[in-house]
Copies of this chain bind each other. A is one copy, B any other.
Amino acid sequence: MRLTYEEERDLVRDVLLREGAPGAPAEVQARWLAEGDLRGHPSHGLQRLPVIVERIRRGLSDPAAEPQLTWRSDAAAVVDGRRGLGPWVATRAVEGVVERARTTGVALAAIHNSNHLGLLAPYVEQIAAAGQLGVMLTTSEALVHPWDGAQAMVGTNPIAVGVPAQPEPFVLDMATGAISMGKILDHRNRDLQLASGWAIDERGEATTDPHAARAISPFGGAKGYALALAFELIVAAATGSALGTDVTGTLDVETVCNKGDLIIAIDCAALGFPDAAAATSAYLGALRATPARPETDGVSIPGDGARVRRARNLEQGVEISDAVWAQVAALRERDGARA
**A234 and chain B: residue at smallest CB distance:** B133
Shortest A276–chain B CB gap in Å is 4
Residue among A147, A237, A290 with most chain B CB within 10 A: A237
Please tell me if A224 contacts chain B, counting CB pairs below 8 Å.
Answer: yes
Please tell me if A190 contacts chain B, counting CB pairs below 8 Å.
Answer: no
* Contact between chains at B148 and A244 (CB < 8 Å): no
**A76 and chain B: residue at smallest CB distance:** B105
List the B side residues contacting A203 at CB < 8 Å: 294
What range describes how many residues of A lie at the interface? 35 or more
Please tell me if A135 contacts chain B, counting CB pairs below 8 Å.
Answer: yes
Please tell me if A326 contacts chain B, counting CB pairs below 8 Å.
Answer: no
Give residues 126-153 of A contacting B (CB, 8 Å). 133, 135, 145-151, 153
Give residues 243-301 of A contacting B (CB, 8 Å). 243-245, 264, 266-268, 270-273, 276-277, 279-280, 282-283, 286-287, 290-294, 296-301
Give residues 188-238 of A contacting B (CB, 8 Å). 200, 203-205, 219-221, 223-224, 226-227, 229-230, 232-234, 236-238
Q: 5 A-B pairs, CB-CB below 8 angstroms?
A: A133-B234, A149-B290, A153-B290, A163-B234, A224-B224
- Footprint of B on A, CB under 8 Å? 72-76, 78, 103-108, 110, 133, 135, 145-151, 153-154, 159, 161, 163-164, 170, 172, 174, 176, 200, 203-205, 219-221, 223-224, 226-227, 229-230, 232-234, 236-240, 243-245, 264, 266-268, 270-273, 276-277, 279-280, 282-283, 286-287, 290-294, 296-302
